[in-house]
Amino acid sequence: MSDDVLLDVRNLTVHYKTKSGPVHAVENVSFKVHRGESVGFAGESGCGKTTLASAILRILPPNAEIVEGEIWFDGQNILELTPSEFRRHILWKRISMIFQGAMNALNPIIKIGEQIEEAITLHEDVSPREAWQRGADLFQMVGIEPSRINNYPFEFSGGMRQRAMIAMALACRPDLVLADEPTTALDVTIQAQIMELLRELQDTLGMSMILITHDISVIAETCDKTAIFYAGNLVEFGPVEKIFLEPMHPYTRGLIESIPSIENAETRRLTSIPGAPPDLSSPPPGCRFHPRCPWATELCKVKVPPLNQVGKDYMVACHYATAEGFNPPG
């Protein structure tokens, strides 16, 4: 593995066990995240983004099973670690997470400073006083008055709670931060502030970040690369600019065409993707997107398209995407 590759996910498959059979939540997903790089995960609800992040952090629910695959982090397959080894050496110390709902992630009856202090002293040989001071410094960094570290989560507004959650995720100076919908339920002005804060912190601290969001336009402004997921599959992965200007997968094209444009708002007609994502307990054969794809052929209905390399750091899972571009029949 290249020295600058921090995270290397290889052929990861995750299923949920149910009474009616397995749910194919993540299927044969592979990608890499380099040091200092930000990658945005985009796709409709239920496409496997959060399941993938939970697998990386090893916090999957009891009915979830990693069927196959490897997750290499800094040269080590972390799936081979015991749960206690992972908690002691990786979790929160080297990989942390900004959860979707800060109020649910933070303990409501314990002061935020104590929660940050615990996270630090659990992984580092520092005194409680030093840990508390670092928490105050982190509050300053994320734009909260340091004295507020003595408050409880319910004493904060939604935006401040999210900033406190970010401070807690950075407590042990991790190499990789997973941000799962960090601006959900916040008003647009606070959303912009949080995303700007994450960009600044990434530049300042040199950490890598995976941003999970439904809003592909946020990825365009925030990330270096984009990973597009559909029905448990990674269908397109590459540099943000190239994907937004020349998307190769039909699903990515549909997502981008549904975004309003300020430049040509009066002349451009927005389009939507017809239909709905498939039931992952019985996904369709072949390409999972073929029932909704305007360019689908008989080949798409019977053969699963592999995730092929079509350029430098660029992969697409479509039978009609090549290094020359997207070339559908007809």
Which residues face 91 on adjacent strands? Answer: 95
pLDDT for 316 equals 97
Position 158 in a domain: no
- Environment class of 313 (CB within 10 Å of its CB; exposed 0-12, middle 13-18, buried 19+): middle
For the chain, what percent of residues have pLDDT higher than 70?
95
Asked, for residue 20, whether it belongs to a domain, the answer is: yes
Cβ(22)–Cβ(63) below 8 Å: no
Determine, yes or no, domain membership for 196.
Answer: no
Q: What separation in angstroms does the CA of 121 have from each of 21, 94, 175, 250?
A: 43, 14, 18, 48
Which H/E stretch holds residue 242?
helix 240-245
Residue 98 lies in a domain: no
The pLDDT confidence band at residue 258, using thresholds 50, 70 and 90, is confident
Q: How many domains, in total, are found in the chain? A: 1
**Which pLDDT does position 294 carry in this prediction?**
93
Q: How confident is the model at residue 2 (pLDDT cuts 50, 70, 90)?
A: low
pLDDT over 70 at 11, yes or no:
yes
pLDDT, position 20: 92
Are 316 and 307 contacting, i.e. CB atoms less than 8 angstroms apart?
A: yes
Question: What integer pLDDT is reported at residue 1 of this predicted model?
Answer: 43
Mean pLDDT of 299-307: 96
CATH of the domain at 31: 3.40.50.300
Query: 193 versus 9: which is more confidently predicted?
Result: 9
DSSP assignments along 271-312, one per residue:
----S-PPPTTSPPSS-TTGGG-TT--HHHHHSPPP-EEEET
* Domain assignment of residue 296, yes or no: no
Q: Within a domain: residue 194?
A: no
**Exposure string over 33-44, b if 16+ CB within 10 A, otherwise e:** bbbbbbbbbbbe
Which residue reads 């390409």 in tokens? Answer: 287
Q: Determine if residue 286 is left, alpha or beta; phi over 0 gives left, psi from -120 to 50 gives alpha, anything else beta.
A: left
* List of long-range contacts for 291-295, beta carbons under 8 Å, 24+ apart: 292/251, 292/254, 293/250, 293/251, 294/250, 295/250, 295/320, 295/328, 295/329, 295/330
What letter would DSSP give residue 91? B
What residues contact residue 310 under an 8 Å CB cut-off, 6+ apart?
Answer: 248, 316, 321, 322, 323
Statement: the pTM of the whole predicted model exceeds 0.85? yes
Q: What is the mean predicted confidence (pLDDT) over 270-274?
A: 82
All residues at 6 or more sequence positions from 144 whose CB lies less than 8 Å from its CB, including other chains = 160, 163, 164, 167
Flag whether pLDDT at 67 surpasses 90: yes
Backbone angles phi, psi at 157, to 5 degrees: -75, 170
Lowest-pLDDT choice from 77-86, 186-195, 236-245: 186-195
Question: 217 is in which domain, residue-wise?
Answer: 1-79+212-287+305-330
> Is 111 domain-assigned?
no
Residue 221 and residue 195 in contact, taking contact as beta carbons nearer than 8 Å: yes
CA distance 69 to 99: 25
Q: Is residue 248 part of a domain?
A: yes
